[in-house]
A and B are shown apart, each in its own frame.
Chain A
Amino acid sequence: MAIGQMDKKITIALLIAAVTTQIPAIGLVLKQIAFAGLSIDIALFFFVFAFMVLTGVGTPFLRANADESSMRVRFLLVIVSAAVGACLRGVLFNEPVWVFRGSGLCVAALIALFAGFSTNRLFYMGLLLCMVPLSLWKTAPWMHSLAQWLASSFAGCLLDIYKVFYFAKGNVLGLVSTDFLQNESCSGLRLIYPMVLLVIAYGFFKGYRFLRFFYLLVVLLFWAIVAQGAWIAVDAIIQDGQSAKVFYQSGASSIVLFATVLLLTWSGDQFCSAFSGPSSDKDSDISIEPGKNELREAIDLPESRVPWIALWSMLVGLAFLGGWSIYKNQWAQGLNLRQSAAISAVESLKLESGVEGWTLGPATKSAESFNPVFRQSPSWNHWEWELTPEQSREGSMKLRIDGIWITLPKPDWLWRWYGWKTDGVISEDNGSFHFGMKRSIVEEAYVVTKGVRVVGDRTLPGPVVQVSLVHESVRPITEKQHEEQKELHARWVEAIEKQMGFDAAIGDSIR
């Protein structure tokens, strides 16, 4: 028994060391969250976290008597291996979010060891601590894009049944009766982050196993997509035939949407219970039997010490990894910037009014702009200028700045919302990407784009704006035009970087 307690103490001490050495990266992610202004999301996150800890501590199933310590060590090994993997990825690819997730897993293991939680609860806690606000996920744009495509398709079904004529430009629906694109309602899956958090809390509270939780998550996503589609359809029906935009109470609608989705998810859970029957309910889905899965206060010594040694080695490795990144000052270039300052840096841009036969003017009509619901800052913006040829040249171009992003999505992602399809490989040249696109049978475009840091260290993710030069045409765009466009883009990017970049005076003044 004494040796078991010693093992536990060693593990706890090493976990504390591993988490402590990751504090700079954790701090950086928290700064990013603060910069993004995701205060409601983060408050909800802490609320759910506190709920889990308190519910876990207050639960009557704390004591265990089965001899499953080896299984528990194996589970700890899995969790810590995942943490090591995440931290390694974060350190190697300069992504503090991954270090944050790895540390989250360690914290979950630490709390589970202290409070004697079951492996099932450790799973939920680890899952929650990996869930830094979804909007900061690199895959978030892709997820929203896919979900929005499904929601728009369902909205299309409803509009077809209701006989409202529409067309789809990628994820965005437009109405035939009026010259109007539903950019606002088709801008991503609404309230998905709080919904997922609540389902995690519900699964934790009910003590569901992984499969049942996964089923609930799928049901939630299904209804979230359906509700989003219904929202778009209702919005389109209201707008149909109206020449001007009709405004409505979107706050109240959001509450209705949120409540409906959660009610239907709960109803889906009831369906699972009713369908599978009362006996299977307890046997297969819920793991609350005290004798099976709960951790014990005292840890029995396993037959072999190899798993413990492996676990401790990994934790020591994690602590060294953190220490090494502190020594290298890897996460020191923090985000010492307020969002308002970043936005004013973009807004105060002064661009040349003309260059090499092109005149720059404000864009008269910009249909392809939207305010995504998963934006990484409350004031995600879109600025657009039109480049018109001074004489004897064909076509016009658009210079657009989109952002502010903390993690820049794939270069062509933005255009996929409007139904553009890239016709080949996206090439990279000095950090800027260029690619050709096609939409309808007559619409072609060529885009040159680059992410420009607003201020801060170039090597770390941080506030970035996407500077793009777009050439749209009904005629095939020639190689010569591509080259000219790339040169022009490089010139604009240089000018923008000078004003907003790392070495810029404005950046210095903010620091």
Chain B
Amino acid sequence: MLRFLTDLPVRIIAWISDLLEITLRFFGGFLDRGNFEDSDRPVGFYRSLNRRLGQFFWLLAQLISYPIAGFFYRGQRRRAFLCSIPFWLLGSIVIASCLLVAFNRERILNRYLARVQNAYSKQDGPKGVRAAMRWIGDMEFANADRKFLYSLVEIQNGNARSAERILEGLSPRDSTGLGIAHYWKASQCVGKLEESSLGESQRRELLEELDWHLERASGVRPEQIVLLQSMKAFWDGRLDEAESKYREVFESDVFQSLGFASLLKRLGKDQERQTVLKTGAERIADGLRSDPWNRAYRVQLAYLYEALGEWGRAEQVHLEGYKIHRDQDSIDAYLASLERRAEAALKEPRNLREVAYCLVKFLRTSGAGPRVQDIMARSLLRPQSELLELQKQLQQWLVEGLDLPMVHLSLSFCKGLSGDEASRDWHLEQACRYEQATIELVQPLIGAMQEASKNQQELHERMERWRVVEGSIDPTER
């Protein structure tokens, strides 16, 4: 039994070998009729064709049976067969790999497309662009929608001009193109129309282009297209139509309050603008109350309060946001709002109470950074009368109990620039007694003020004279 089992594989191979040989002989004989010997004799067409077919068959039979038949060869051919296995095997693997990839091309490219979409959703522009490089030049795969996606990741990658080029390609003048690209082009036309340097003929051309693209725009919410139609009506001089269209959008979408208010301002309807802003703020505040985590509502509400000039309420909205989210985005939003507040306050005629407030807040939130240095230089390097008024406002804030160390620090700089060195040192001492770390802000700020006051000799000298010796102020001494 054991002997039989040991012989079995050998027998199986022998059977296969016999079967293979019989099959090949049968088909080979059928095709060439065993007449290879007299091949030199002239033969007829059919005979010749038959022989050719037979030869071809034998070639195929050899090629197909190569992996198996080689084991049964005798003599030198067996060695050649065994040695050539790596060539045959690896060659097959190489060709199979290429075929595998070729047949799955669409699936592989879709994998890359998913990568681009993923990178876009994670705002990873560089990775998105690199993943899109695989298919962006592929005429069959890169359709208009995918090219649009590529333009979006290019924007995330910081290549806005590349994205513009793609969108231009997607919104050609001689065909329909992609609806969303036409929308983008129409928005671009509206943006260009806002430029005041345009001549009448250029304006007319731009309006025609806007009209053309607007007709073909799609792929966005209908309200967004109505907005552009409204702006077109405005630039065409159809003011009532512009207002009514915008109002229509505003009523359905509260996020358009700011844009509508801006249009009303242009139309000279200031009272209505205030109403729109207030209505918008109320509706968004309602929305925010029901969903305090919604950042879009929060940012929009803060903007509306800012547009109404209610900076304190805007700040309140941001601070609430920070308490909820506790992340860098909310800090950035607050600082950006503070900067807008400072800019608004520094605009002539200046609101010095607001300037003083922003200065103190900036000192508290941004330390002695470049933004603070700039605000401080623009606030304090002013005529003496204005400096005195600013001091008054700071003292008022002191009375009202706003951030005492920072108010004292600001006052110290005001006194220093006024030439009152005793008060300057006293305020600095007070600031350090409230908060020892304040002293670290002083030296960089003095340096920045010295640099900024180069053109104002007297102020520059006063800053030059100011020497702060760390450790000279004892916080325990009250």
Contact B161 A475 (CB under 8 A): yes
Q: Which residues of B (26-54) have their CB < 8 Å from a CB of A? A: none
The answer, yes or no, to whether B62 is at the interface (CB within 8 Å) is yes
The CA-CA distance from A169 to B79 in the complex, in Å, is 45
The answer, yes or no, to whether A492 is at the interface (CB within 8 Å) is no
Contact A167 B131 (CB under 8 A): yes
Residues 174-185 of A, flagged 1 when their CB comes within 8 A of B and 0 if not, give: 111101000000
The CA-CA distance from A158 to B76 in the complex, in Å, is 36
Of the listed stretches B87-95, B198-206, B326-334, B382-390, chain A binds B87-95
The answer, among B81, B127, B137, for a CB contact under 8 Å with A274, is: B81
The answer, yes or no, to whether B80 is at the interface (CB within 8 Å) is yes
The CA-CA distance from A157 to B104 in the complex, in Å, is 11
Residues 157-172 of A, flagged 1 when their CB comes within 8 A of B and 0 if not, give: 1101101011111000
Known contacts A179-B126, A270-B83, A441-B137; decide if A157 and B77 are in contact (CB<8 Å): no
Of the listed stretches A261-269, A293-301, A461-469, A482-490, chain B binds A261-269
Residues of B within 8 A of A168 (CB): 133-134
B160 to A, closest residue via Cβ: A474
Contact B84 A274 (CB under 8 A): yes
Residues 85-108 of B, flagged 1 when their CB comes within 8 A of A and 0 if not, give: 111101100100110110010001
Contact B127 A441 (CB under 8 A): no
Residues of B within 8 A of A272 (CB): 84
Give, as a whole number of angstroms, the nearest-CB distance from B139 to chain A: 10
The CA-CA distance from A206 to B445 in the complex, in Å, is 87
Of the listed stretches B162-170, B433-441, B465-473, chain A binds B162-170
The answer, yes or no, to whether B293 is at the interface (CB within 8 Å) is no
Contact A264 B165 (CB under 8 A): no
Known contacts A278-B75, A278-B77; decide if A174 and B130 are in contact (CB<8 Å): yes
Residues of B within 8 A of A166 (CB): 134
Residues of B within 8 A of A353 (CB): none
Residues of A within 8 A of B76 (CB): 273, 278
The CA-CA distance from A169 to B136 in the complex, in Å, is 12
The CA-CA distance from A275 to B87 in the complex, in Å, is 12
Contact B97 A263 (CB under 8 A): no
Q: Which residues of B (120-153) have their CB < 8 Å from a CB of A? A: 126-127, 130-131, 133-134, 136-137, 142, 147, 150
B98 to A, closest residue via Cβ: A157
Residues of B within 8 A of A47 (CB): none
The CA-CA distance from A114 to B321 in the complex, in Å, is 98
The answer, among A154, A158, A177, A442, for a CB contact under 8 Å with B165, is: A442
Residues of A within 8 A of B134 (CB): 165-168, 176
Residues of A within 8 A of B154 (CB): 442
Residues of B within 8 A of A268 (CB): 84, 87, 91
B74 to A, closest residue via Cβ: A278
Contact A176 B115 (CB under 8 A): yes
Residues of A within 8 A of B130 (CB): 167, 174-176, 179
The answer, yes or no, to whether B112 is at the interface (CB within 8 Å) is yes
B107 to A, closest residue via Cβ: A160
Contact A440 B137 (CB under 8 A): yes
**A interface residues with partner B (beta carbon < 8 Å):** 154, 156-158, 160-161, 163, 165-169, 174-177, 179, 219, 222, 226, 263-264, 266-268, 270-275, 277-278, 440-443, 474-475
Nearest 8 CB-CB pairs, A to B?
Answer: A271-B84, A167-B133, A267-B87, A274-B80, A270-B83, A270-B84, A273-B80, A274-B81
Given contacts A274-B66, A441-B165, 6 further A-B contacts (CB under 8 A): A157-B100, A160-B101, A263-B86, A275-B66, A278-B75, A441-B136
